[in-house]
Structure 1
Amino acid sequence: MKHIHIIGIGGTFMGGIAAIAKEAGYRVTGCDAKMYPPMSTQLASLGIDVMEGFDAAQLMNYPADMYVIGNVASRGMPVVEAILNQGLPYTSGPQWLAEHVLQSHWVLAVAGTHGKTTTASMLAWVLEDAGLAPGFLIGGVPENFHVSARLPQADQQSGMVASSLSTDKGRCRQGFFVIEADEYDTAFFDKRSKFVHYRPRTALLNNLEYDHADIFPDLAAIETQFHHLVRTIPSEGLIVSNGQSEALARVLDRGCWTPVENFGEANDWLVGAVNQQGGFDVLFQHQVVGHVEWDLLGDHNRMNALAVIAAARHVGIEVRASCAALGRFQNVKRRMEIKGVVSGITVYDDFAHHPTAIATTIAGLRQKIGSGRIVAVLEPRSNTMKLGTMKAALPNSLAQADEIYCYAGGVDWDVHAALHELGAKVHVDTDFDVLVAKIVAAAQPGDQILVMSNGGFQGIHQKILLGLAQKF
């Protein structure tokens, strides 16, 4: 048994690597600054020893064979300096995964600014439902699986995928692996995007907008990284790309050596008729080829479904089988997850933190409830939001909400000024407890309280629910 110690184990990606390594028989330990669900509970359930902090003394307690360093780590951190000074073996999370897991599998990678977690979860579930028992590493916890990562189960059962779905052109490998392919940089010593390590055979390019202002100067820089990904996809593979994205079109125009199927445009995959419950027809080359009945909200999720159906078809799963599987998809924790209901007031938790994601999340809820009151609660927590790079887009993204509460603690720009055009429905506070009290005081039976943050938000959901229980 080899021992790996993971620096930054609390993130969804590095925590997923921990789970996979543990399943593969490694001894796994790690450290991070803070831990919160769902990763803290997942690691605890796996019996993985985690310490808080980045001090150098931990190297004495955890003398590992390899130190796997996440991109939360930087030069100057005591543990990083000690690893370098002592000449200890280290690698990045994506490189470790590529070398020890992905190289023997058919990789299906889901990339894009928005929707990676939901789409990767959908894809993993469709493959699971088809009996392919895929491995996966996803930046969230799909309700269909209750874990964020695992090895391909076909490896453990038979050593080879027991299916005739994917035998053409020698493509049948030891199982399928679905990965959420992030464009964020790999580590302090490897500034390439994570996804260039994954070498997928099937790649989903969901969308592409400017984000990660802390590491990318502009959209063109991100497009360059996406083209680096495109360069790694084999000519016998498949790219499933959002045909409505001008940025992705520019990426592919730089050079593409792989067949492309577009979704959301007339020549390939389209959403057809949509019913009142959100079910929809699936069209391929102008013909109805399937129908999805499910509970997910919004046009963006229907687009996600098209991409998944196209990718699953590439590995041999019939369209109608994919549609049926999507009807049994249970979504992902922190994606419109209902945290509780008090006196007809529903409190949701959602990961939305980019203006486009905020807008589509609110629009999906609006489509579901009609004219009911939506109370949007936002924490601008991501690096891009903290820098204020997207502040001009925030008013439009929040416009469909009836009341807006924004926590401005830790934000250096004037949130109230940025949202002033939305008028009296905007409430901004730097005092967390005051913000919670205002939300509870203003809440009315029938309200939909939509909390949006990419962090734990100080447990605001339970605090709101407790306050509502005391009020009503």
Structure 2
Amino acid sequence: MHIHILGICGTFMGSMALLARDLGHTVTGSDANVYPPMSTQLENAGVEIMQGYTADHLGKNGKYPTPDLIVVGNAMKRGIEAVEYMLDNAIPYISGPQFLAEHILHSRHVLAVAGTHGKTTTTTMLAWTLQFNGIDTGFLIGGVPLVNSDEPHLQKAFAHSSYLGKPTDDNELNGRGYFVIEADEYDSAFFDKRSKFVHYRPTTSILNNLEFDHADIFADLDAIQTQFHHLIRMIPSNGVIIMPSETQSLEDTIQKGCWTPIWRTTINNHNGSDWQAELIKDDGTCFKIHFTDVDGNTHTGEVNWGMSGLHNVNNALVTVAAAHNIGVSVADACTALSNFAGIKRRMELIGDVNGIQIFDDFAHHPTAITTTLDGAKKKLAGKRIWAIIEPRSNTMKMGIHRDSLASSASLADEVIWYEPENLAWGLKEVIGDTPHQQVLTATQAIIDLIVEQTQPNDAIVIMSNGGFEGIHKRLVEALQ
């Protein structure tokens, strides 16, 4: 079958394109914004990418063949030429989440990772942990994994951001294989406004956290909680929900009705939670995990890794719990995480020039900015931390979190905010005269200032969920 994907360079759709190819389909795609790392992944995998959303890509004028099925990304809207041609000519179409559900997930034990923050990192950790322990699980990750191993099966599985895996498992009673998926609460398509994750029907579900986000499609926190409860309703009674304790927004959602056992997690707080992490180092680079099962048996393991920050300790804790739920021992899961290299764009070191380190991070929500900088300050103790932040998400552009922006970056020693032309509110007015924080309106001006004012033993953390006008590479080159 020939499948054409509209919006193929998005992290979700690009990963799904590789799965469709591995199912044996011919896959092509269109996108308005083609940039690495996803475009590179797709091109290396032999997937043809077309620029823009024209009807020619779908068979008009005979330039390209008409696809058998179109998978429509959630960025597509009515009025786009390709969308109108698809509808007018009755070409079969489907959303990405529904395609996954019908063609892959229906036969698997699905382990889904949901939450406002940490989905991509936790999904990658869980897929890595299972693969490291010999479980040939499939996965879909909204990012590009880093691999620190010479093991052929790990190199193969994590060559891309998705992997089909085995559909069956001889070691499981019902014969189903496993699939780990990043369970996004954003809507599925212009014709299906439900959250993506309602299609996935997981058996094991991680609910990492729950805050207000995606203000372009959700009116308030309660609207997001409603979607999370739709997910909870689908988790079977022989499954498990894993979530941090004392998270009121999640507890309120659970109170709407829950029919599945819950494992709660905590860090350095012996409050009776099922799973606990005990910090050995304050920066989160080393910690122990403890779990007491229903029979009173205690299971422990120790993680000593290159990640940092309490948010990543929590990500590791829920990962170990999910892996244990399908038979991986706590000790073995911790060993896997001790060998975890991370993923691109999550405090990824992209340059070390003349003693100045440059990191790339995906943080684009005030909470994520704070936790990222907290981890950076602890891990990079003694360095002067610069934060360069682009408020790019739809929620940020609408100004929903603007009152908390200055405080969210306060852990950095110096902060540069980038104000693009299309921002609907005044970033300079919000930041005001906050000490050690300033607003610039051009990426070249940011680069010039960094080159002029940084010195050896500084660390620069660039935070954006987009390409940021290629500032990462440009800055590394300018500092050389």
Task: Tell me the TM-score normalised to structure 1 length.
Answer: 0.94
1:252: how far off? Answer: 0.7
Aligned mates of 2:248, 2:308 — CA distance in 1: 25
Aligned to 1:73: 76
Aligned mates of 2:407, 2:359 — CA distance in 1: 21
Instruction: List per-residue Cα deviations over 1:300-356 (Å, max 9, x = no partner).
Output: 100111101110111011111101100011100110111111111000000000000
1:462 matched to 2:473: yes
Aligned mates of 1:266, 1:128 — CA distance in 2: 31
> In the alignment, is the contact (CA less than 8 A) between 1:281 and 1:288 conserved in 2?
no
Amino acid at match of 1:273: L
Aligned to 1:112: 115
Aligned to 1:422: 434
> What is the 5 A alignment of 1:22-421?
22-60=21-59, 61-144=64-147, 145-152=158-165, 154-155=166-167, 160-163=168-171, 166-167=172-173, 170=174, 172-173=175-176, 175-264=177-266, 266-275=272-281, 278-285=285-292, 289-409=300-420, 410-420=422-432
Instruction: List per-residue Cα deviations over 1:94-114 (Å, max 9, x = no partner).
Output: 001100011011110000000
Instruction: List per-residue Cα deviations over 1:409-442 (Å, max 9, x = no partner).
Output: 131211122112522x122111221122112211
1:436 matched to 2:438: no
Alignment CA distance shift 1:326-1:461 (3 Å): same
Aligned mates of 2:249, 2:65 — CA distance in 1: 45
Aligned mates of 1:56, 1:232 — CA distance in 2: 38
Aligned to 1:452: 463
Aligned mates of 1:49, 1:462 — CA distance in 2: 26
Amino acid at match of 2:430: A
1:276: how far off? Answer: 6.0
More divergent stretch after superposition (447-456 vs 457-466): 457-466
Instruction: List per-residue Cα deviations over 1:134-184 (Å, max 9, x = no partner).
Output: 1100000111313100101x34xxxx3243xx43xx3x41x2100000000
How many residues of Structure 1 are paired with residues of Structure 2 in the alignment? 456
More divergent stretch after superposition (271-280 vs 306-315): 271-280
> In the alignment, is the contact (CA less than 8 A) between 2:387 and 2:416 conserved in 1?
yes
> In the alignment, is the contact (CA less than 8 A) between 1:399 and 1:422 conserved in 2?
no
Aligned mates of 1:459, 1:136 — CA distance in 2: 29
Aligned mates of 2:329, 2:131 — CA distance in 1: 14
Aligned mates of 2:87, 2:246 — CA distance in 1: 46
SS in 1 for 2:234: coil
Aligned mates of 2:424, 2:447 — CA distance in 1: 21
1:244: how far off? Answer: 2.9
Aligned mates of 2:159, 2:356 — CA distance in 1: 27
Aligned mates of 1:104, 1:276 — CA distance in 2: 42
Unpaired runs of 5+ in structure 2?
148-157
Aligned mates of 1:448, 1:275 — CA distance in 2: 21
1:288: how far off? Answer: 6.3
More divergent stretch after superposition (59-68 vs 272-281): 272-281
1:284: how far off? Answer: 2.0
Amino acid at match of 1:140: G
More divergent stretch after superposition (412-421 vs 13-22): 412-421
More divergent stretch after superposition (292-301 vs 258-267): 258-267
> In the alignment, is the contact (CA less than 8 A) between 1:241 and 1:260 conserved in 2?
yes
SS in 2 for 1:411: coil
Aligned mates of 2:139, 2:279 — CA distance in 1: 32
> In the alignment, is the contact (CA less than 8 A) between 1:395 and 1:421 conserved in 2?
no
Aligned to 2:13: 14
Amino acid at match of 1:418: V
> In the alignment, is the contact (CA less than 8 A) between 2:245 and 2:273 conserved in 1?
no
What fraction of aligned residue pairs are identical, expressed as a percent?
Answer: 49
Amino acid at match of 1:308: T
Aligned mates of 1:97, 1:62 — CA distance in 2: 24
SS in 2 for 1:428: strand
Amino acid at match of 1:358: I
Aligned mates of 1:259, 1:462 — CA distance in 2: 47
Task: Tell me the TM-score normalised to structure 2 length.
Answer: 0.93
Instruction: List per-residue Cα deviations over 1:186-223 (Å, max 9, x = no partner).
Output: 00000000000000010000000000011101000000
Alignment CA distance shift 1:62-1:384 (3 Å): farther
SS in 1 for 2:70: strand
Aligned mates of 2:159, 2:408 — CA distance in 1: 31
1:371: how far off? Answer: 3.6
- Runs of 4+ deviating beyond 3 Å: 285-288
Unpaired runs of 5+ in structure 1?
none
